[in-house]
Amino acid sequence: MIPDHHFLRNSTLLNVNRHSLLRIFIFSAVWLTLTGSDTSSWIIGVPAVLFASKLSLMLAPPSQCLVSVSGALRFIPFFLYQSFRGGLDVMRRALSSQQLLDPGLVSYVTLLPEGSARIFFVNTISLLPGTLSAELHENTITIHTLDRGMSIWANIQTLEYHVAALMHISTENKKGL
Amino acid sequence: MSWIHIIFALILLPAIATGMFRILRGPTAADRMMTAQLFGTCGVAILLLLSAGMNNPVLLDIALVFALLAALATVTFVSRTWRDNNKNNHGNLIQ
Amino acid sequence: MEILYNSGTLLIIMGVPFFWSGTVGLIRFPDIYTRLHALTKADNVGLGCIVCGLALQSGSWTVTAKLLLIWLLVLIASSASCHLIARSAMQKNIKPWMRS
């Protein structure tokens, strides 16, 4: 699914190198952010970056974390807007003089495959308006909602769709969207 | 020295202090632990504001460490302390 | 520059009420799950506003990148620990509060 050059695709060695280079680049950027423009910090930085890249490749193999750039560009504004709405919603309920809570538990069956996509989905649910992921069993997520009268399904489905696009997973054929 | 940032940091400080009531009231250990999480996010915000207000970039690094430690504290709490009275969960931290 | 600085101040002013409503929710809400809602959502939005405001005022790329890194870290940490606490509470059979 990665947009790749034809001659690179069949070579595992080159693929691994490309992934390692990407990780090394990301961790170097993080180190640069942390330490600023001090060149002598790289005495510790170079080993730290190499170690972190090696460790991250061991803990999260590249096959599990392919992130699509176009998916991210659509996911980030959606996420920022929804979590802002979530904050406003909580503020309204916390500061109002009446009791505005009507909590309850609902369950949602996700089509996302096991692994990083599902974990990411579960964690982002908690930042959406009125929902909090309480438990994950196989593919069933128990969601605690602040208000049972609130329409949360459309939101969660859109989030699932965005996460699928972000992680290069197609749910269209299973879901008939 | 920028007073406006320091004033906002001072407005946030009582928000942490008020959160301490939850430590007193509980009722479960996790409710008390949530105040630690409040310390994490609110403390980070205060440090960021102070760093801008006092023009001291070192405080940004302290905020970073705060954020990391708050996360570690909650994970350790949930996986170790809050499970002890569950019978069959000993030694089975990742579940 | 004046405009950037002032809109940064505006964002910081916007962030403060979110922190306060997180604290009020933590004190006022009836059970552990609803308190988790208040804490994670409100505080993250508040921190987001303050981070964006300070980034607008800083006028330096390194500071902006560091601020965004801190925010991202807090975002990941709090949503993960929120789920962990809620899950342990469910496993301990703590019943959610219901409106009666």
Q: What are the pLDDT digits (tens) for B27-62? A: 888 888 888 888 889 999 999 999 998 888 889 989
The per-residue pLDDT for B91 is 42
pLDDT at A159 over 50: yes
> Is C98 a domain residue?
no
Nearest by CB to residue B41, choosing from C27, C69, C78, is C78
The per-residue pLDDT for C18 is 93
Q: Is the ipTM of this complex over 0.95?
A: no
Nearest CA in chain B to C59: B52
Chains that touch A (3 or more CB pairs under 8 A): C
Residues A81 and A15 in one domain: no
Domain tally for chain A?
Answer: 2
- Closest by alpha carbon to A116, among A51, A62, A70? A62
- In tens digits, chain C (100 residues) has pLDDT values of 788 888 899 999 999 999 999 999 888 888 888 999 988 999 999 999 999 999 998 888 888 999 999 999 899 888 888 888 888 888 888 788 887 7
Structure tokens at B64: 């970073």
The better pLDDT of the pair C12, A172 is held by C12
Residues A103 and A134 in one domain: yes
Partners of A142 in the β-ladder: A107, A135
Q: How far is CA A157 from CA A121, A135, B35, B67, C12, in A?
A: 11, 18, 32, 31, 32
CB contacts, 8 Å: C89 with chain B: 28, 30
> Is A128 a domain residue?
yes
Note down the domain range covering C67.
2-91
pLDDT tens, A135-144?
A: 888 888 888 9
pLDDT at A132 over 80: yes
User: Are C16 and B37 inside 8 Å of each other by CB?
Assistant: no
The pLDDT of A55-60, averaged and rounded, is 85
pTM of the model: 0.84
pLDDT tens, B69-87?
A: 888 888 888 888 776 554 4
User: Are B38 and C15 inside 8 Å of each other by CB?
Assistant: no
Rounded-to-integer distance, Cα A34 and Cα C84, Å: 28
Domain tally for chain C?
Answer: 1
Q: What percent of chain B has pLDDT over 70?
A: 86
Rounded-to-integer distance, Cα A132 and Cα A144, Å: 5
Residues A20 and A51 in one domain: yes
Q: How far is B74 from chain C (nearest CA, A)?
A: 6
> Is A1 a domain residue?
no
The per-residue pLDDT for A110 is 84
CB contacts, 8 Å: C51 with chain A: none
Which residues of chain B from 32 to 91 reach within 8 Å of chain C, CB to CB? 33-35, 37-38, 40-42, 44-45, 48-49, 52, 57, 60, 63-64, 67-68, 70-71, 74-75, 78-79, 82-83, 86
pLDDT tens, A25-53?
A: 989 998 888 887 778 888 988 999 999 99
Of A159-173, B11-25, C16-30, C65-79, where does mean pLDDT reach its minimum? A159-173
Q: Average pLDDT, whole number, for chain A?
A: 80
Q: Which residues contact A59 (CB under 8 A, 6 or more apart)?
A: none
Helix axes C43-58, C61-91, angle to 10 degrees: 170
pLDDT tens, A79-118?
A: 999 999 999 999 988 888 887 788 888 888 888 887 788 8
> Is C38 a domain residue?
yes
Note down the domain range covering A155.
69-175
To which residue do tokens 């207000």 refer? B53
- Residue spans per domain, chain B: 3-83
